[in-house]
Structure 1
Amino acid sequence: MAESMTTAPSQARHDEPCYDIAHLAHVEILTPTLKDSVQFFVNVVGLTETERAGDSVYLRGWDDYEHHTLKLTAADAPGIAHYAFRTTSQPALERRIAALEAHGVAYEWTNGDRGHGPAVRFQDPDGHQVELYYETEWYQPPSDKRPALKNQAQAFPARGANARRLDHLNLLAKDIPASRRFMQDVLGARLTEQIVFEDGSEKAVWFSVNNKSYDLAIAEDHSGANARLHHVTYAVDSREDVLKAADICLDSGIEIETGPHKHAIQQTFFLYVFEPGGNRFEFCNAGARLILAPDWQTIVWSEEERKKGQAWGLPTIESFHTYGTPPVDDT
């Protein structure tokens, strides 16, 4: 009986699980074609426009509870401006600020943006702009978007792929070990899966800040550049909705990069496309794997395993490893 009650084998762990970060809250991406990008996210992805201010448009999935989860801002080139996490409480925010100070990370306070209160802004080791905040505005749907089911954020839009919520973000970084340590030691994220080659080099890492299998992924930037975006992902309700999204993109003249298919790592069913501004976008199924084990052991994938391709053997398309935004000339 005693043997049947033992816990999982021991592994190297940083600390007790930290749940100061609640979830990935929003992402601001840059686009040189704001009007066309807005049309893509509203009519193809199915997001709802919440507000416009200056050169920015704020959008959300139909079951995202906050004011917005995506901010599109006009710029000369595509890329990422910043991403944000919401903390689980005001004391949790203060604990993360203390962690920033303890690790010598410079930060500044902002008055917040549309839809949320004061935020702490800082850079991760690769130069990506990150925000942490707690005070937020819950979305209040107008009468024509009020749901019959009071436990969802708004009525089902029946438009485009009907994206339900922001799912995860994938960044590119020059120094993966530094980014991993930052996410673990400063923000308290759990490393759920990673790629480590035979020479010991870390190529990609996946993090969870709650019970989802991942909220943030960071992959090695083969160009050697800093602070670039790989893709942002919204979840639809089912695998069949990902398939339908492919048809919608085809009909809408949206370039499909790869998929629909299934990743081996994290098992996400995916479709990758390029929105009109040039940023990579992913549709995925909302039935994300959950990490319920408090002593979850990081899954490590080898170089040989990665070479086998996706879950059903399809090789990963070359552009998936080489393209990011803003584009760089790495020839």
Structure 2
Amino acid sequence: MEAHALTQDAWGRWPYGDLAHLAHLELLTPKLEESLRFFTQVMGMEVSGHEGDSYYLRGWDDYEFHTLKLTADKRPGLGHLAFRAKSPEGLLRRVRALEASGLGEGWTEGDLGHGPAYRFRTPDGHPMELYYETRWYTPTEATRPALKNQASRFPGRGANLRRLDHVNLLASDVGAVRAFMEHFLGMKVTEQILFRDGSEQGAWLTCTNKTYDVAITKDHLGAKGRLHHFTYAVDSREEVLRAADVCLEHGVFIETGPHKHAIQQTFFLYVYEPGGCRFEVACPGARLLLAPDWKPIVWDEEERKKGQAWGLKTVESFHTYGVPPVEEA
């Protein structure tokens, strides 16, 4: 049997290894210009394109044309989340698997930053895309780096976000979304939260050599298809601390942190962008995952009650707030 033949294993899963990485997300915002200023002036991102009611942005070392698409909408929310496949063949294998899941929605012509994409949804309703053909970012005179193995010049502005790291989805049924991403996207679970009653409260999955690209956590308000937060990485803990100072100077609401997570050990800062979405600046973001036989780390209810790594209690809004706000979900 060829290495990537589309054959399910004994647990009904499709094979791992067709996805290259988390590629971008589209954030819907009711305050497009304010959100744009936040991500460019406060967070230090660059605009690589503008089309209609959308702006395309990237961190300074993101190789693709964009990793964040800001789109005007009446309410904040997730427009879609996208993954790039490793090859055209891998993309087609994934599409066949997604069609078998019954949650595929069909092909689109693509977007300003990439070619044709296959649309689908998770069992909770999160909109997603898969594509292979992409547009690499071409530096301008103002963004050209001194070293050609770097995507663009360090901006020296705001929080200086380097790259897209991960996204956290809220779900009414964590287990169903986790199983979907394992079985039909070929992702691996690295950490989980399982309570004594058997309920799955959280799952962290990877499709790369990072410890996670996607986190799924329980929506305690019972809503479906919401976004908890998305995260960009910086180079050091000091830069996370600097980001907190930058946010303070700009009047940005800081929800929690700087501090260190117990799960995944990320050094974090959580703020709200002007449109109403929670946003994280992190270091190192996800860690490297080198073990091919990694077994998921499972956290129980008592361990999670201890809060974060150094004892900071998890703020209540972390369990209940997401976009769109629940009264509009």
Q: TM-score, normalised by structure 1?
A: 0.94
Q: What is the Cα deviation at residue 14 of structure 1?
A: 6.8
CA distance in 2, matches of 1:328, 1:104: 27
Aligned to 2:152: 154
Equivalent residue letter for 1:41:
F
Aligned to 2:43: 45
Aligned to 2:209: 211
List aligned pairs for 1:51-66, cutoff 5 A.
51-66=49-64
List aligned pairs for 1:268-283, cutoff 5 A.
268-283=266-281
Match of 2:68 among 57, 67, 70: 70
CA distance in 2, matches of 1:192, 1:16: 18
Aligned to 1:235: 233
SS state of the match for residue 92, structure 1?
A: helix
CA distance in 2, matches of 1:65, 1:257: 30
Query: Any idea what the Cα deviations from partners look like across 1:86-134, whole Å, max 9, x if unmatched?
Result: 0010110011011112323332100000110000001111111100000
List aligned pairs for 1:1-331, cutoff 5 A.
18-286=16-284, 288-329=286-327
Q: Structure 1 178/15 Cα, relative in aligned 2: closer, same or farther at 3 Å?
A: closer
Does structure 2 conserve the Cα–Cα contact (< 8 Å) formed by 1:14 and 1:184? no
Moved more, 98-107 or 25-34: 98-107
Q: What is the Cα deviation at residue 60 of structure 1?
A: 0.2
SS state of the match for residue 226, structure 1?
A: coil
Does structure 2 conserve the Cα–Cα contact (< 8 Å) formed by 1:17 and 1:294? no
Does structure 2 conserve the Cα–Cα contact (< 8 Å) formed by 1:116 and 1:135? yes
Does structure 1 conserve the Cα–Cα contact (< 8 Å) formed by 2:124 and 2:225? yes
CA distance in 1, matches of 2:184, 2:105: 13
Q: What is the Cα deviation at residue 277 of structure 1?
A: 0.7
Q: RMSD of aligned C-alpha atoms?
A: 1.4
SS state of the match for residue 327, structure 2?
A: coil
Moved more, 221-230 or 59-68: 221-230
Does structure 2 conserve the Cα–Cα contact (< 8 Å) formed by 1:238 and 1:287? no
Unaligned ranges ≥5, structure 1: 1-11
SS state of the match for residue 247, structure 1?
A: helix
The aligned length equals: 319
Equivalent residue letter for 2:311:
G
Q: Structure 1 288/177 Cα, relative in aligned 2: closer, same or farther at 3 Å?
A: closer
Q: What is the Cα deviation at residue 15 of structure 1?
A: 5.8
Give % identity: 65
Q: After TM superposition, which residue ranges in structure 1, 4 or more long, deviate above 6 angstroms?
A: none
Q: TM-score, normalised by structure 2?
A: 0.94
Query: Any idea what the Cα deviations from partners look like across 1:154-178, whole Å, max 9, x if unmatched?
Result: 0111010100000000010111111
SS state of the match for residue 325, structure 1?
A: coil
CA distance in 2, matches of 1:261, 1:106: 39
CA distance in 2, matches of 1:329, 1:164: 34
